[in-house]
Chains A and B, each alone.
Chain A
Amino acid sequence: MLSKSSAAGPTKPSNYEYLPHTADIQLHSWGPTLNSALSSLTISMFGYMTDLSYILPSSSQIISFKSDSPETGVFKILDEWLVHFHTKGFVVKEMEVEVKEEVGSPGWDVKCVAKGEEFDMERHTQGTEVKAITYSNLQIHRKEDRVDLYVIIDI
C-alpha cells in the first residue's frame, strides 16, 4: 500500500488508501460515520493530485446540492470539488460535510465546507491529474460503527 503519510503529511490521521486498479486508482476511505468517510474520501483524491502537507487551510469554499441517490451523492461531492480545482485551482485540505438523508427517499441533501488554498506551482508539488470520477464499482458499505467507501477515479 502507498504510504499514507507521504500524501497527507503529518497534519491529521488519514483514513484512506489507494487500491490497485490497472489504469486508474480506486480510492478507499473509511470512518466511524458517513460524514467522516466522505471527508477522508475527498482528501484522498486531493492527496493524489498534490502533497497536502504543503497546502495551508487558509481559505474556505462551500458546496451544496441535492442528489437522488447515495451513489450520486458520493460521486457529486468529488465531482464538485474536482471542478473547483480545475476552474479556481482550489485544493481541499480539510473538509466538514453534512449529509441529510431525506425521509422516504434515497436522496441526499449535502453541504460541504472545505478549507484549503489555491494551487500554486511555486509552492506546491505536482502529483497526478485526476480527469474524472467514475461510477464504476462505486461502493458504499454502511455498518453501525463504520462506513467504507470505494470510488474509482480516472487519471
Chain B
Amino acid sequence: MASFAEATSDCGAPSTSPTVSTVRPRIVRTYEEHMKYIKKLTPNSWSILPGFVPGMSVPGTFYVNSRLEQLMLSELRQSCDGTGVGGFIPAVTQIANVAALPGIVKSSIAMPDVHSGYGFSIGNVAAFDMNDKDAIVSPGGVGFDINCGVRLLRTNLFEGDIKDVKEQLAQSLFDHIPVGVGSKGVIPTSPGDLDSALELGMDWSLREGYAWAEDKEHVEEYGRMLQADPRKVSKRAKKRGLPQLGTLGAGNHYCEIQIVDEVHDQKAANRMGIGARGQVVVMIHSGSRGLGHQVATDSLVEMERAMARDGITVNDRQLACAKIHSTEGQNYLAAMSAAANFAWVNRSAMTFLARQTFAKMFDSTPDDLDMHVVYDVSHNIAKVEQHVVDDQLRTLLVHRKGATRAFPPHHPLIPVDYQFTGQPVLIGGTMGTCSYVLSGTQKGMDTTFGSTCHGAGRAQSRAKSRRQLSYTDVLDNLNRKGISIRVASPKLVMEEAPESYKDVTEVVNTCHDAGISKKVVKLRPVAVVKG
C-alpha cells in the first residue's frame, strides 16, 4: 500500500518557499497504522489521540454516527492510496493539525457535517486561550466566507395560501434578489456608506431603513461586532464588496421558501413563532461576499510574515495564523469583524427584498404578514467567549468554521425571547431536501464550546457530481417533489444536488443523540432561488 506521505507528498510543494520554513514535515504511515490513533468513544463520537500528527497538545474529537463515520474513514483511506500527485488532506488529519496549534484548549472538535477544507476542516470548532500569550488566531479557522450564515423569517401564511402563486412567488424572489456570478446589488451604496456599514453592521441597515429595530434582537451579536474597524479592511476588499452588497452569491447559497413540516419541540417552536405545521417561512443562506473573501486572502499573506517572525510552527501551510495579541492578529480580528458586519447588512438587505416580494404578492405589508426574523446564525466566525474548562471560567477565542453557536437556555448572550428554550440554531439543508431548527443545550455548552453542526456537509466532490448526475434529472426530481426552482446557472445544479451531500437528517440526529443540540422543527422547501 502506498504510504500516507506519498499521497500528500511535498512534490514541488509549499515547503520550498523560503517564507514557510515553519511547516512541519508530514508523517509517513499506512491506513492501519493511522487507525491506531483513532478511537471510538461513544456511538456518536471518536477521539484522535495526540501523536497522530506532530505537535498535538490536545486530542481531536469528531461526532459521527455509524453511517457518517464511513465517509470520514474512507476519506482517510483514500488519502493513503493516492498517487502522490494532486489530492487533498483528509478531514481527520486536518482536525489533528488544528490540535497542534499554539494555545488550543481542550480539544479540536468536528461536527458530523465535517469534510475536508483547507487548513481547518469544514465543521471544525477550536478554542484558543485569550490569556495565553502564544495563543493564535487563524483565518483558516473562520474560512473565506466570513460570517456566512443562515437567517430564518417567519410568516403567518400557510401552505394553502401560497399553493396557487408559488411559481410567481419564486420568480418574484428571483427577480428581487440578485443572485449568481457577476450579479450586482440593488441597494445604492457609496464608498462612504460601505465604511459605515462595515463599522455599524445592522445598525446601519436600521438607520437606512432596510431593517426593523426588533430584527437586531434576534441576530447573534445583535448584528454588529464592536471590534470592527473599517480601516483594517483593504481597499481591494472594499472594491470587491461595494457592488456586491445585497447580493446572494452563488454556490451553496440560496433563498428558500419552506414549510414547517414536523414539530419536535412544541414549546420551543411556539416561542419562535413557528409552532404550526404547514406554516410558511423563508430561509436565507449567504455571507460576506467578495469583501470577506478578500479580507481572508489578505490576512493569509500578512500572517505568513508574522509566523516566520514569531517562529510559529504548523503542520499545513494553509493554517497560517498569528498570535492573538500581535498586530497581525488584532488587524485580522478587526477586519474579520467588519466583514461579519457586512454579512449581516447583506442578509438584512435580502430580508428587506424578501419582505417586499411577499408584501407585493399578497397585497399586504411585511408587518401584517408577521415577517419577523426568527433568528440569524453565523457559521464561519471567531468570537471571544467565556467557557468553563477544567472547572475554571476562561476567556477563549472560539473559531467556528462550518459550525454553529448553540448556547443553552439561560445563557446571558441569547435574546430574552429564547432564555427558556435555548438559542435557535438554523441548519440549512441541501437544495430540495429539508432544513432544521434546533436549540442549544447545556451539554453542548459543556462539551463543544456551545457549538453544533451547520448543514449537510458535502459527501461527494463537485467534479464527481458533474460527472454522475445530469442537470435535467436533478431539475426533474425537484419538480416531482413539487419544488419550484429558479437558478442562475442551471447547468451547475448537479453540484448542489442532494446526492452530493451527506444526509442532513443523519447529521442533525447525530447532534441530537449526542445531546449537543435538540431538534425543534423540521422544514421542507417548496421554492428555491439560487445562484
- In the bound assembly, the distance between CA atoms of A124 and B12 in angstroms comes to 37
Whether, in the assembled complex, B49 has its beta carbon less than 8 Å from a beta carbon of chain A, the answer is no
- In the complex, are the beta carbons of B236 and A83 less than 8 A apart? yes
- In the complex, are the beta carbons of B117 and A23 less than 8 A apart? yes
- In the bound assembly, the distance between CA atoms of A24 and B89 in angstroms comes to 13
Most B-side CB within 10 Å, residue of A69, A71, A131, A132: A131
A-B contact count (CB 8 A): 161
Interface 0/1 of A139-155, CB less than 8 Å to B: 11110000010101011
Q: How far is the CB of A153 from chain B (nearest CB, A)?
A: 10
Which residue of chain B is the closest to A87 with respect to CB atoms?
Answer: B239
- In the complex, are the beta carbons of A69 and B12 less than 8 A apart? no
Residues of B within 8 A of A126 (CB): 180-182, 250, 488-489, 531
- In the complex, are the beta carbons of B86 and A139 less than 8 A apart? yes
B115 contact from A23, A127, A154, Cβ within 8 A: A23
Most B-side CB within 10 Å, residue of A50, A121, A132, A135: A135
- In the complex, are the beta carbons of B122 and A125 less than 8 A apart? no
- In the complex, are the beta carbons of A72 and B297 less than 8 A apart? no
- In the bound assembly, the distance between CA atoms of A25 and B107 in angstroms comes to 29
Residues of B within 8 A of A154 (CB): 118, 144, 293
Whether, in the assembled complex, A79 has its beta carbon less than 8 Å from a beta carbon of chain B, the answer is yes
Q: Which residues of chain A from 1 to 25 have a CB within 8 Å of any chain B CB? A: 1-2, 18-25
Most B-side CB within 10 Å, residue of A106, A137, A139: A137
Which residue of chain B is the closest to A2 with respect to CB atoms?
Answer: B466
Most B-side CB within 10 Å, residue of A1, A18, A87, A89: A87
Residues of B within 8 A of A26 (CB): 86, 88
Whether, in the assembled complex, B376 has its beta carbon less than 8 Å from a beta carbon of chain A, the answer is no
Which residue of chain A is the closest to B465 with respect to CB atoms?
Answer: A20
- In the complex, are the beta carbons of A22 and B489 less than 8 A apart? no
Interface 0/1 of A22-51, CB less than 8 Å to B: 111110100000000000000000000110
- In the bound assembly, the distance between CA atoms of A75 and B51 in angstroms comes to 32
- In the bound assembly, the distance between CA atoms of A21 and B315 in angstroms comes to 20
Residues of A within 8 A of B318 (CB): 134-136
Q: How far is the CB of B167 from chain A (nearest CB, A)?
A: 21
Most B-side CB within 10 Å, residue of A50, A132, A141, A142: A132
- In the complex, are the beta carbons of B463 and A2 less than 8 A apart? yes
Q: How far is the CB of A128 from chain B (nearest CB, A)?
A: 5
- In the complex, are the beta carbons of A22 and B461 less than 8 A apart? yes
Residues of B within 8 A of A150 (CB): 85-86
Q: Which residues of chain A from 80 to 132 have a CB within 8 Å of any chain B CB? A: 83, 86-87, 89, 106, 119, 121, 124-129, 131-132
Given that A21-B462, A71-B17 are known contacts, is A155 also in contact with B181, CB under 8 Å in the complex?
no
Residues of A within 8 A of B460 (CB): 22
- In the complex, are the beta carbons of A50 and B181 less than 8 A apart? yes
Whether, in the assembled complex, B424 has its beta carbon less than 8 Å from a beta carbon of chain A, the answer is no
**21 pairs, CB–CB < 8 Å, chain A vs chain B:** A22-B458, A28-B86, A68-B19, A69-B18, A72-B19, A86-B294, A87-B236, A87-B239, A106-B16, A106-B18, A129-B180, A131-B144, A135-B300, A137-B87, A139-B85, A141-B12, A142-B12, A150-B85, A154-B144, A155-B250, A155-B251
Using CB atoms and an 8 Å cutoff, list the residues of chain B in contact with chain A: 8, 11-14, 16-19, 75, 85-89, 115-119, 122, 144-145, 180-183, 236, 239-240, 243-244, 249-251, 290, 293-294, 296-297, 300, 316-318, 320, 458-464, 466-467, 488-489, 491-492, 495, 531
